[in-house]
Structure 1
Amino acid sequence: MQVLKDILYKVNIKSVSGDTGVTVRDIHFDSRKISLNDVFIAIRGSLSDGHDYIKNAENQGALAIVCEELPKEKVNGVTYIEVADSKRALAYISANYYENPSENLKLVGVTGTNGKTTIATLLYDLFTKAGFKCGLLSTVKIMVGNEERTAIRTTPDSISINSHLSDMNDAGVEFCFMEVSSHGIDQHRTTALKFQGGIFTNLSHDHLDYHKDFAEYRDVKKRFFDELPASAFALTNIDDKNGDVMLQNTKAKKYSYALKSYADYQAQILENNFTGLLLKVKDQELWSRLIGTFNAYNVLAIYATAELLGLKTLETLRIISELNSVSGRFQYIISEREKITAIVDYAHTPDALKNVLETINSIRTKNENLITVVGCGGDRDTTKRPKMGHIASALSSKVIFTSDNPRTEDPDKIIADVEAGVEPQNFKKIMSVTNRKQAIRTACQMATSNDIILIAGKGHETYQEVNGERFDFDDLKIVKEFLKTLDK
């Protein structure tokens, strides 16, 4: 239980009507969850406007309404708080309601187009193996110490974040590693959190269905670093052309990492094959089970962060060598008899797909085929579709275009958009199989001894979303079954 005026601390309030000394039971931005003595925060969303549901909240016993636009008729006994920005208000109200749990943690945020999940998850694994109690907020899962919770989106809403962080406080968690998405930053879900550090991975084409253009996407990411306190560190990939931009206005202590440029943390790739990576960092050899140049950046970011958070170098090197790849991130299996390698990866952006395909091509002998199964999600950025088609067809021996998560779109129309990026010299390489399971089966049937199959786009996801429904679908599980059949 909290007093209303206490949870309004730092909120930009335009007007107040009613008593702010009342005791609050709970806070919600979904009017359907409102019960007696709760606070309802009316949020303007892309699909609906919370202001349309103020009457519902009042009828269900809301004690107070926080909104950008006051209702024409007010209910006696209800307190109305008019604010400049409901999303920012929600962030501060959530943090205050849960007694600012981020202040009791060493919270590190990871942002960028690719690599967020790998870096956040492996930092959680690293510090857990080092003996610390840790938390994780990621696309794949949420961890409160050793307790696993289901993740719904990359960056949860402000109430959920602070609720998880509060539970971490109760569980004695010391470090928390968190993915920070552009949506989360733009919608102020991370506002009011106190970060110990921020990591920038890279920036490439993504989410332009949400952001107006690439410049806006970049500037939203930059805002995360602009808001870091002077007590925090800001670690950036200086090899990325936007790496310097991220830290231009930050008050945090600036650090950089790179494979090609001069940086505070530099690495050289000594070996890169299907068994892992051997890097040279600060005259020390660092072995990782992760594969590919893009993972060399991820490993280097993890190493640098561990050092900035005070972990001893030799312990960091030892534990990194024990870390396994994250679910759906370059996960691979090899069939017993035919030695066909199947790789499942979340690559759903042009840059991520290019990285994975270039990694495979740099390792393979070229005596085997590289068969790629890929699609694009529906109701998302359409401009990346031809780019994905171009990259897949240019860097693969054969390509099967298929359905990803079509959502409310026609999957055949999405595939046509992807095919539009294929250049004439690559037409003979491609085919389309709309049913994703059948596409994976076809790739397995096409493969001969030592061939490589890449199944890209869904990674860790265990569902396929079609017309608002989610059906069980696991790329790794399905390809394992088909390869097992071929081995019989």
Structure 2
Amino acid sequence: MIVLKDILYKVTLEKVVGNTATAIRELHFDSRKIGLDDVFVAIKGTISDGHEYIKKAVDQGAIAIICEVLPEQMVNGVTYVEVADSQQALAIMAANYYENPSEEIMLIGATGTNGKTTITTLLYNLFLGLGYTCGLLSTVKVMIGAKEYKATHTTPDSLTINKYLRAMVDAGIEYCFMEVSSHGIAQKRTEALRFDGGIFTNLSHDHLDYHKDFAEYRNVKKQFFDDLPKNAFSLVNIDDKNGAFMLQNTNSKKYTYALKSIADYKAHVLENHFGGLLLKIESHELWVKLIGNFNAYNVLAIYASAKLLDVDTIELLQQLSTLESVSGRFQYTVSREQKITAIVDYAHTPDALKNVLETINAIRTGNEELITVVGCGGDRDATKRPKMGNIASQLSTKVIFTSDNPRTENPDTIIEEIESGVSPENFKKMLSITDRKQAIKTACQMAMENDIILIAGKGHETYQEINGERFDFDDFKIVTNLLTNLKK
């Protein structure tokens, strides 16, 4: 039997009306899921306010209400608890409800603008290869051992996180690798979790539709490291100017990694090809199947994390050499006849797009055309659109601007905003095709032997979101099919 007062442990209570010794069944913040003897946590969201659904929750059988503002009318037999912050209360209550599973597993979080998915997924694959039982909480998927679940957010809500962690603990999982987004930190989803390590990748222009400005975005990321316990480690990319900032107030053990700066863990790129990278990490030469300098940083972060988790160096190097790229992260195919290389990447920020294009340009001989297909998502940070247009047109031979996930916005308007960043000297490179499949098809038709096509922005996503509906759409499948059937 679960008692209300037990899951309220460590929650800062403003006022209580009713009995906290009452037995409860389940905990929800979605009023539609409330049943008899459940607890409803009213959260003020960006779209709706959960306080408006308190009466509905009570009518459906809620035995307790957790809220920031007590309702004017209260029902006898229902316990009302006023808290200062409902999101924080939910995180603490969720951890208590599932008996604090993060304290029974080695939980490693990765945060930053780019690289989170690659690092967490490859750490999961690495540790599996080393014989450990592992879990994964990422943008692409959730893994409990070998069992896969569909991911809906980069960082799920606190109830879902703790539910998955409890399932991992019950399944005997030793390590969980988790993406930690700025939204997740800001909305207190990770508040009551005990992390054993935190990794900072980099910070660049993203999510400024949600955060007021870059400083707030940076400070939210820093909060993750500020909250790490003394026995945890913080591992930061010191080549990023924000790396040192992340370490300023943390009580955790501090470590750095870099390609350029003096650091605890250092690597050099010796060779960079479409087949992979030859790296020198500390005193070891290592060939990996990942491509580009940005992946050199990811590999180094993985190496350093594994070393901090006491993995044997020789075993670690052997496993690193077997790792494959993550779905939608510099995922490429080469057409059999024309030898056209098509690359699909999630690059949806100016910095990520620049990294991918610079990587391709560093590898190609210069005799090939580089055709980029790119768009920007709707209902998201609009200020990055002209920057994306400028970078794509500067660093590509030809560029096709197209629709991404327009959501509720007009895709043509988004494309116009992307085009506004293109310099006059690059106008001749530019083409705009709203229909994304047609844009990819056009790129395939334009490409000649040995040319390179980059399709950026959606990566692993298998849908396109238009006016609240999701339609099947997989960049990699589409371009592979088009190149297979290409006739010239």
Specify the code of the residue in structure 2 equivalent to 1:77. G
Corresponding residue for 1:474? 474
User: Is the contact between residue 335 and residue 487 of structure 1 (CA under 8 Å) also seen in structure 2?
Assistant: no
Corresponding residue for 1:49? 49
* SS of residue matched to 1:450: coil
- Measured against aligned partners, the alpha-carbon deviations of 1:13-42 in whole angstroms (never above 9, x if no partner) come to 101111111111000000010000000000
TM-fit CA distance, 1:65: 0.2
1:67 aligns with 2:67: yes
TM-fit CA distance, 1:474: 0.3
1:99 aligns with 2:106: no
Whole-Å Cα distance in 2 between the matches of residues 241 and 478 of structure 1? 38
Unpaired segments of 5 or more residues in structure 2? none
User: Is the contact between residue 337 and residue 487 of structure 1 (CA under 8 Å) also seen in structure 2?
Assistant: no
Corresponding residue for 1:452? 452
Specify the code of the residue in structure 2 equivalent to 1:94. A
Whole-Å Cα distance in 2 between the matches of residues 12 and 227 of structure 1? 18
Corresponding residue for 2:23? 23
Specify the code of the residue in structure 2 equivalent to 1:315. E
- Measured against aligned partners, the alpha-carbon deviations of 1:174-194 in whole angstroms (never above 9, x if no partner) come to 000000000000000000000
TM-fit CA distance, 1:2: 1.2
- Measured against aligned partners, the alpha-carbon deviations of 1:203-229 in whole angstroms (never above 9, x if no partner) come to 000000000000000000000000000
Specify the code of the residue in structure 1 equivalent to 2:228. L
1:400 aligns with 2:392: no
TM-fit CA distance, 1:250: 0.2
Whole-Å Cα distance in 2 between the matches of residues 203 and 2 of structure 1? 42
Q: Equivalences for 1:85-484 in 2 at 5 Å?
A: 85-484=85-484
Specify the code of the residue in structure 2 equivalent to 1:209. D
Whole-Å Cα distance in 2 between the matches of residues 99 and 111 of structure 1? 25
Whole-Å Cα distance in 2 between the matches of residues 386 and 281 of structure 1? 37
Whole-Å Cα distance in 2 between the matches of residues 127 and 87 of structure 1? 33
Whole-Å Cα distance in 2 between the matches of residues 270 and 283 of structure 1? 13
User: Is the contact between residue 385 and residue 418 of structure 1 (CA under 8 Å) also seen in structure 2?
Assistant: yes
* SS of residue matched to 2:143: strand
Specify the code of the residue in structure 2 equivalent to 1:401. F
- Measured against aligned partners, the alpha-carbon deviations of 1:326-349 in whole angstroms (never above 9, x if no partner) come to 000000000000000000000000
TM-fit CA distance, 1:282: 1.5
Taking structure 2 as the reference length, what is the TM-score of the superposition? 1.00
TM-fit CA distance, 1:76: 0.3
Q: Which moved further from structure 2: 297-306 or 270-279?
A: 270-279
Whole-Å Cα distance in 1 between the matches of residues 487 and 223 of structure 2? 52
User: Is the contact between residue 98 and residue 166 of structure 1 (CA under 8 Å) also seen in structure 2?
Assistant: yes
Specify the code of the residue in structure 1 equivalent to 2:129. K
- Measured against aligned partners, the alpha-carbon deviations of 1:72-101 in whole angstroms (never above 9, x if no partner) come to 011000001100100000000000000000
- Measured against aligned partners, the alpha-carbon deviations of 1:41-66 in whole angstroms (never above 9, x if no partner) come to 00000000000000000000101000
Cα RMSD over matched residues?
A: 0.6
Corresponding residue for 1:485? 485
TM-fit CA distance, 1:287: 1.6
Whole-Å Cα distance in 2 between the matches of residues 277 and 344 of structure 1? 18
Whole-Å Cα distance in 1 between the matches of residues 281 and 436 of structure 2? 41
* SS of residue matched to 1:383: helix
Whole-Å Cα distance in 1 between the matches of residues 116 and 288 of structure 2? 18
Specify the code of the residue in structure 2 equivalent to 1:379. D
Number of residue pairs aligned between Structure 1 and Structure 2: 488
* SS of residue matched to 2:80: strand
Corresponding residue for 1:36? 36
- Measured against aligned partners, the alpha-carbon deviations of 1:311-364 in whole angstroms (never above 9, x if no partner) come to 100111000100000000000000000000000000000000000000000000
Whole-Å Cα distance in 1 between the matches of residues 12 and 114 of structure 2? 34
- Measured against aligned partners, the alpha-carbon deviations of 1:360-379 in whole angstroms (never above 9, x if no partner) come to 00000000000000000000
Whole-Å Cα distance in 1 between the matches of residues 9 and 292 of structure 2? 47
Corresponding residue for 1:14? 14
Whole-Å Cα distance in 2 between the matches of residues 485 and 374 of structure 1? 22
* SS of residue matched to 1:482: helix
Whole-Å Cα distance in 1 between the matches of residues 487 and 333 of structure 2? 13
TM-fit CA distance, 1:485: 1.2
Whole-Å Cα distance in 2 between the matches of residues 169 and 2 of structure 1? 19
Specify the code of the residue in structure 2 equivalent to 1:41. V
Whole-Å Cα distance in 2 between the matches of residues 487 and 444 of structure 1? 10
* SS of residue matched to 1:219: helix
TM-fit CA distance, 1:487: 5.6
* SS of residue matched to 1:102: helix
Taking structure 1 as the reference length, what is the TM-score of the superposition? 1.00
Whole-Å Cα distance in 2 between the matches of residues 50 and 252 of structure 1? 36
Whole-Å Cα distance in 2 between the matches of residues 162 and 432 of structure 1? 44
Specify the code of the residue in structure 2 equivalent to 1:257. Y
Specify the code of the residue in structure 2 equivalent to 1:337. E
* SS of residue matched to 1:486: coil
Whole-Å Cα distance in 2 between the matches of residues 352 and 282 of structure 1? 26
User: Is the contact between residue 336 and residue 487 of structure 1 (CA under 8 Å) also seen in structure 2?
Assistant: no
Specify the code of the residue in structure 1 equivalent to 2:42. A
TM-fit CA distance, 1:162: 0.1
Runs of 4+ aligned residues of structure 1 deviating over 3 Å after TM superposition are: none
Whole-Å Cα distance in 2 between the matches of residues 487 and 254 of structure 1? 56
TM-fit CA distance, 1:258: 0.0
Whole-Å Cα distance in 2 between the matches of residues 318 and 271 of structure 1? 18
User: Is the contact between residue 205 and residue 351 of structure 1 (CA under 8 Å) also seen in structure 2?
Assistant: yes
Whole-Å Cα distance in 2 between the matches of residues 302 and 160 of structure 1? 26
- Measured against aligned partners, the alpha-carbon deviations of 1:84-140 in whole angstroms (never above 9, x if no partner) come to 100000000000000000000000000000000000000000001100000000000
